[in-house]
Amino acid sequence: MERSPLTDTPRLVVISNRVAVPKARGAAGAQGGLAGALHAALKDREGLWFGWSGEESESGRTGNIDTQTNDGVTTATIDLSQRDIEEYYNGYANSTLWPLFHYRLDLAKFERETGKGYERVNERFAELAAPLIENDDVVWVHDYHLIPLGERLRSRGLKNRIGFFLHIPWPATRLFVSLPYHERLVRTMLHYDLVGFQTKEWLDSFLHYCRTELGAEVDEDSGSVTLDGRTTLARAYPIGIDWDHFSKLGETGEARNAQQRMMASTRRRISMIGVDRLDYSKGIPERIDGIGRFFDREPERIRDLVFVQIAPPSREDVQSYQEIRETLEQKCGQINGARSEVDMVPIRYVNRGYSHEELFGFFRASKIGLVTPLRDGMNLVAKEYVAAQDPDDPGVLILSSFAGAALQLQDAVLVNPHSPDDIAHAIRKALDMPLDERKARYEKMVASVRDENVQAWTADFLRDLG
């Protein structure tokens, strides 16, 4: 590929498992912040985005790469075989690493075969991506699916700057060591030049592991980790939203229609909203319990409220995701069965995705946003909810203190997502909050969402990597 004559900026090669958001899920933070953020990071610069097409076929084995340019972003994708998807994506990535890194040891499965599949697919990514990488490209690998990829690329002789960013939490050391071969996995991370985490908490856990389990030399101030004569930098870079894009969505007809649609259907009732991938880490059943507790305490307010939960299905072939779906159907059904009237249903539970524009309208029409994950690397829905509010009459964000976003959004009403009492209390506080306080909280939060945006995240990481 030719270099742009106007700039010396090296070409950026991004590698992630997920390249585009599945169509059925729309395109928003709720669908997983990674794909949206990487699209924003790449659209303004010369680059290439390599990863899985999301499709199942045998063609990836024969080296078949599909290259396309859409919306200013060039993607190179490969298909995965049924076995690869089973062992690498549904297996090791989403049945071992995802639950473990989200502190759900009870859901984590440790199978030798899926671990081998994970290594095999990482090797295939390296084999197919390496020839696409030119000498002075900067390479940026993303997320838990591809932890060993940097080491695999190095074994093919790549001397480029290679960085890695983890979009999910890094667990506490005592939890992480439950992973068989944990040391082998982390040693591969030390082949990157720079490793990024969403928050200082996850970074500190990683540094603690490197010091105590690997015996690496760790300098907490600079984040340098030295082992076997090689040094990797590890730092925190909180991801943000594409503020310029998102904040303008309110001007679109689609957003206005969505806002009207929601307001017309709820009439004088106050709407509360939750938007999440259908994932056990998002704390949706616990949120419904909190809402149920609020209704128990203040039954006279049920007629004034409606809760809308949008939850597009995710990773549907993984058993724990099938179970969470059943749990939620039951919980919503129970509350609606007990609390509905012929002309009023308190919970609307929707299993589909919406476009960014529509979500903007729904967020703006909702006086309370509930973002209560049990554990979350960052959570961009919280930031999108804030960005969509009317500055003259902003809604209230109820946010889990266990989401990475809570560090920046301290002016949300922070809750312990495990406690139905805490959630019920936060709902009451939000409903009764005077306009002045809502505005004061909103103004502080929106400043952070605006300034600590996805462009700043990309620039900070790539500056340190370069």
Q: Name the residues annotated as catalytic.
A: 167, 376
Nearest approach, Cβ of 375 to ligand G6P (angstroms)? 12
Report if residue 26 touches ligand G6P, rule: CB under 6 A: no
Nearest approach, Cβ of 21 to ligand G6P (angstroms)? 8
Q: Would you say 102 or 339 has its CB closer to ligand G6P?
A: 102
Contact pattern for ligand G6P over residues 144 through 183, marking x by CB under 6 A: -----------------------xx---------------
Task: Specify the residue for token string 């929707």.
Answer: 350
Contact pattern for ligand G6P over residues 293 through 332, marking x by CB under 6 A: ---------------------xx-----------------
Q: Would you say 51 or 395 has its CB closer to ligand G6P?
A: 51
List b or e across 7-21, with b for residues whose CB sees 16 or more CB atoms inside 10 angstroms.
eeebbbbbbbbbbbb
Report if residue 282 touches ligand G6P, rule: CB under 6 A: no
Please measure the distance between the N-terminal and C-terminal CA atoms of the chain and give it in whole angstroms: 20
Checking 258-263 for CB contacts under 8 A at 24+ apart, the result is 258/354, 258/357, 258/358, 258/359, 258/360, 258/361, 258/362, 258/365, 259/360, 259/361, 259/362, 259/364, 259/365, 260/361, 261/361, 262/308, 262/361, 262/362, 262/365, 262/366, 263/365
Q: What is the Cα–Cα distance from 27 to 37, expressed in whole angstroms?
A: 11
- CA-to-CA dists, residue 231 to 134, 182, 191, angstroms: 23, 19, 8
Size of the site for ligand G6P (CB under 6 A): 10
Longest Cα–Cα distance of the chain, Å, equals: 71
Q: What is the Cα–Cα distance from 406 to 239, expressed in whole angstroms?
A: 13
Query: Which range, of 29-37, 80-88, 303-311, 444-452, touches ligand G6P by CB under 6 A?
Result: 29-37
Q: Would you say 143 or 452 has its CB closer to ligand G6P?
A: 143
Query: Which range, of 33-41, 133-141, 180-188, 230-238, touches ligand G6P by CB under 6 A?
Result: 33-41
Report if residue 404 touches ligand G6P, rule: CB under 6 A: no
Task: With beta carbons less than 8 A apart as the criterion, state whether 206 and 170 touch.
Answer: yes
* Closest residue to bound ligand G6P by CB: 32
Report if residue 11 touches ligand G6P, rule: CB under 6 A: no
Residues 417-446 binding ligand G6P (CB under 6 A) are none
Instruction: Please provide the DSSP assignment of 440-461 as one string.
Output: HHHHHHHHHHHHS-HHHHHHHH
Question: β-strand 230-236 against 224-227: which pairing, if any?
Answer: antiparallel
Query: Who contacts 38 (Cβ-Cβ below 8 Å, separation ≥6)?
Result: 14, 16, 49, 142
Report if residue 51 touches ligand G6P, rule: CB under 6 A: no
Report if residue 287 touches ligand G6P, rule: CB under 6 A: no
**Contact with ligand G6P (CB under 6 A): which of 10, 26, 32, 36?**
32
**Contact with ligand G6P (CB under 6 A): which of 34, 126, 185, 255?**
34
Query: Which range, of 26-34, 41-49, 129-137, 429-437, touches ligand G6P by CB under 6 A?
Result: 26-34
User: Which residues in this chain contact ligand G6P in the complex, by CB under 6 A?
Assistant: 18, 32-35, 143, 167-168, 314-315
